[in-house]
Amino acid sequence: MCTFTRPTGLIAFYIAICVVSAGCGSDKSGLVPVSGQVLIDGQPLSLGSLQVMPTGARPAFGKLDENGHFELMTYKEGDGCVSGSHRVTITAFEVVPGRRQKWHAPKKYSNPSTSDVVIEISGATKDLEINLTWDGGKPFVESFAGG
């Protein structure tokens, strides 16, 4: 009969976790630097963030500046994203008094199942342009969900 002492069992557990974790998206090779600008109806989207989600790889994120510019990061600032097709979500709201939020882009862009924005990344780029539209709508204020 094989029994493990507590320290031996813990060591075996940690080794198993390390082996399993080694294959879980830790490969940082293949990232390409990507930066650009988000426009809504031709004007810079001056606040918010975006997430680009490839199939089978870790998503990348970017924060918009006052001119709508962003730089994508997957693991660290400026490292970019993997090449390929990416669904994009963009969340652009600010908190306003009264437990409310003011949306500066349609909510559909903030949800991966409703956003229709898809980008193709084939290499490093500094001028990726993402164009959104209000489709006749405009910024609006709503109460926080559940409140």
Q: Which two tokens stand for residue 95?
A: 């908190």
pLDDT digits (tens, 9 = 90+) for 86-112: 999 999 999 988 889 999 999 999 999
How many domains would you assign to the chain? Answer: 1
Confidence grade of residue 125 (pLDDT, cut at 50, 70, 90): very high
Gap between the terminal Cα atoms of the chain: 59
Report the CATH number at residue 55. 2.60.40
CB-facing half-sphere around the CA of 43: CA atoms within 13 A: 8
Q: Cβ(59)–Cβ(82) under 8 Å?
A: no
Beta-carbon count within 10 A of 29 CB? 5
Pick from 40-54, 68-82, 94-108, 110-124: least confident: 94-108
In which domain, by residue range, is 95 found? Answer: 31-143
In the chain, which ranges are continuous DSSP H helix?
Answer: 6-21
Q: Is the pLDDT of residue 2 over 80?
A: no
pLDDT at 24: 45
Residue 17 counted as domain residue: no
Segment 20-48 shows an average pLDDT of 80
Higher pLDDT, 117 or 5: 117
Residue 4 counted as domain residue: no
pLDDT digits (tens, 9 = 90+) for 60-69: 999 999 999 9
pLDDT at 142: 85
Residue 15 counted as domain residue: no
Nearest to 59 by CA among 31, 36, 38, 37: 31
Dihedrals φ, ψ of 26, to 5°? -90, 0
User: How is residue 109 annotated by DSSP?
Assistant: G
